[in-house]
Copies of this chain bind each other. A is one copy, B any other.
Amino acid sequence: MLDTFNPISRVLMGPGPSNVSPRVLGALAKPTIGHLDPQFIQLMDEIKSLLQYAFATENEFTIALSAPGSAGMEACIVNLIEPEDKVIVCVNGVFGGRLKENIERVGAQAIVIEDNWGDPVSLEKVASAFSSNSNIKALAFVHAETSTGVCSDAKALCEIAKNNGAITIVDAVTSLGGSELKIDEWGIDAVYSGSQKCMSCVPGLSPVSFSQTAVETLKTRKSKVQSWFLDQSLVMDYWSGDGKRSYHHTAPINSLYALHEALLILKEEGLENAWARHMRLHQRLKSGIEELGIDFLVDEPYRLPQLNSLVIPKGVDDVQARKYLLDTYNLEVGAGLGKLAGKTWRIGLMGATANEQNIALLLSALKDVIR
C-alpha cells in the first residue's frame, strides 16, 4: 500500500527551507562512509574552514552541529549560561521568545527587552537595561528575526555588551550567507545558524561558532552542561584539529557532504557577492510588491533582503491563498508566525531560491491570488 515517496517539486519561497540545488542534492547522495574514516575527518576540516569563511571568523571552534538551528540555539545557551546567571534577552519576534525560553529552562534569570514585532531591537532599551542591572553575564538577541523579517543592528548591540563586560549570543539562522554578518569584526562570542536558509543546504544542521572568550567561559563553568548531547566541551574533541578524534556521537555524514558542497558554492560566488545578490533581488521584489499595492510589515531601513514579511491585503483569505499558490503554481510562501499568524506572509529570497525567475513567478502568482 505504501510506496516510495516522490514529491512534486516546489518553488520554496517561505522562511526556509529554500530550494536545494541539484549540485547539493548530488553531494548528499554520495555513498555513506564512517564518521571516523580519514576521508571524513578531512571533510570535517574543510567544512570548518569553509564555515569560518562564511561566518567571517577565525574562531577555532567553528562546527556544524548535528541537529537543526533550534538545537544550535540551545547549545549556545546551555554551554555558556549557568543557573542563576543574568542574561539580557531581546524579544521582537518568535525566535527572541525562544531564546528567553531556553535561558529560563537553564535556570538563569532572563531580563527581557521587548520590542514590537517588525521593529528592530532598540539599542537604547538594551543600553538602559545594562545601566540598571549589574553582573550581566550575556546579551542574547536575534540578528535576523525569521518571524518578522527585521534586521537588528548586531554590531552596535555587541558594542554595548562589550562595554558592559557581557558576552554576546547571536541568532544568525536567517542572516548567514544572505546579508552582512561579521563575527570577528563585530565581536560576537557565540553564534548559531541553520543549513536550510541562505546556505540552501538540506535542513538538519546548525553551524555554530564560539570565540575564544566563549570557549573560556565554557571551560571555566562551575556546573556541568545540563545536556550531554549538546555539551560542546565533548563535541570539541570530535571536531578538533589535532590528530586524535574522540567519538562523541555519529555525525550526520551525508548531510555534511551536502553542507560542504553548499559552502563551496557560497565561496565560489564570494560572500560579499552573495550579500549583494540578495539585496539586488530584494529591490526587484520590492518594486513588484509595491506595484501590487501590498505593504511590507517592516520599515524599509530594517528590512532583511532575504525574508520579506508582507501584510496580507484586506479581503484575502490567508489559508486559501497559500493553498492556491501551492496547488496552482507549486509555490510555497510562508505563513505568519505567532501573533502575526493570519496577518502576514513571509516571502523568502534565500540562497538558491533568490533569482529573477522565482521573483517573476511570485509576482505573477501573487497578482492572481489577490485579485
Contact = CB atoms under 8 A, between A and B. Distances in A.
A43 B105 CA distance: 32
Interface stretch (A4-12, A120-128, A137-145, A177-185): A4-12
Contacts of A207: none
**How many subunits of this chain does the assembly comprise?**
2
B202 A254 contact: yes
A87 to B, nearest CB: 15
B252 A204 contact: yes
A31 B7 contact: yes
A354 B68 CA distance: 31
A229 B29 contact: no
B252 A46 contact: no
A8 B228 CA distance: 33
Contact of A8 (B3, B39, B196, B337): B39
A288 to B, nearest CB: 22
Contacts of A32: 12, 17, 19-20, 25, 196, 202-203
Nearest to A14: B34
Nearest to A200: B32
A108 to B, nearest CB: 12
A284 interface: no
A26 interface: yes
Given A68-B249, A264-B2, A20 B31 contact: yes
B203 A250 contact: yes
A16 interface: yes
Contact of A70 (B226, B229, B264): B229
A12 B34 contact: yes
A121 B232 CA distance: 31
Contact of A46 (B2, B49, B74, B250): B2
Contacts of A119: none
Contact of A252 (B33, B38, B203): B203
A224 B105 contact: yes
Listed residue (A28, A46, A248, A261) with the most chain B CB atoms within 10 angstroms of its CB: A28
